Chains A and B, each alone.
Chain A
Amino acid sequence: AQSVAQPEDQVNVAEGNPLTVKCTYSVSGNPYLFWYVQYPNRGLQFLLKYITGDNLVKGSYGFEAEFNKSQTSFHLKKPSALVSDSALYFCAVRRGEGGKLIFGQGTELSVKP
């Protein structure tokens, strides 16, 4: 069965500092991995994805994520956090083309000035 774990319910970062939001996954076969961001009372907004190739993927708003097959992880990173990055972040996995996404429980990122 597919599953995603986001071990931190909340991450607190000072503005300008680097941020990391952790994600580990379990899926048979080659995973397709995604990060989405959700602002209050809004739908999910796509940030980036890993399908194949370079383990470091870059996405919207300066975010990037590193795929690590041996550790089955796909951590989200940003070199310098902004207050406007404060939101709920979801990691998701899919097995192959089409079909459902399996989401983690989410990590609330709080960036303080």
Chain B
Amino acid sequence: DTGVSQNPRHKITKRGQNVTFRCDPISEHNRLYWYRQTLGQGPEFLTYFQNEAQLEKSRLLSDRFSAERPKGSFSTLEIQRTEQGDSAMYLCASSRSGPSPGTDTQYFGPGTRLTVL
């Protein structure tokens, strides 16, 4: 496995601009997750896909946030009209469902650090 990859690794933008992040999961992982982590805190769940279906969205995911996984492979997370409070590390994780309980361990990418000026 080559691991979960995320691009870009760093993004600096001005308030009000739109940004898009990409996540490529581990090959053959059918589940994909987005989390947000601010300094000194644990990651907070944003949304979760199984194949191309978005199965759960956090209340943290305001209408300025949208995520897609169009072909059940890579995923994008878009933030519209960014605010300074959106500054955080955005983490992507993937896992594979399986027949045994607990098969699907989530493996994380390196994250995209967003700074909104």
Contacts and interface: CB of A to CB of B under 8 A. Distances in A.
A46 B105 CA distance: 8
Interface of B: 4, 6, 31, 33, 35, 40-45, 48, 50, 55-56, 58, 91, 93, 95, 97, 101-102, 104-111, 113
Contacts of B111: 42-43
Closest 6 CB pairs of A and B: A51-B102, A103-B42, A100-B45, A43-B108, A44-B108, A43-B110
Nearest to B97: A98
Contact of B109 (A36, A43, A49, A102): A43
Contacts, number: 68
B56 A99 contact: yes
Contacts of A104: 42
A100 B40 contact: no
Contacts of B107: 46
Contacts of B40: 105-106
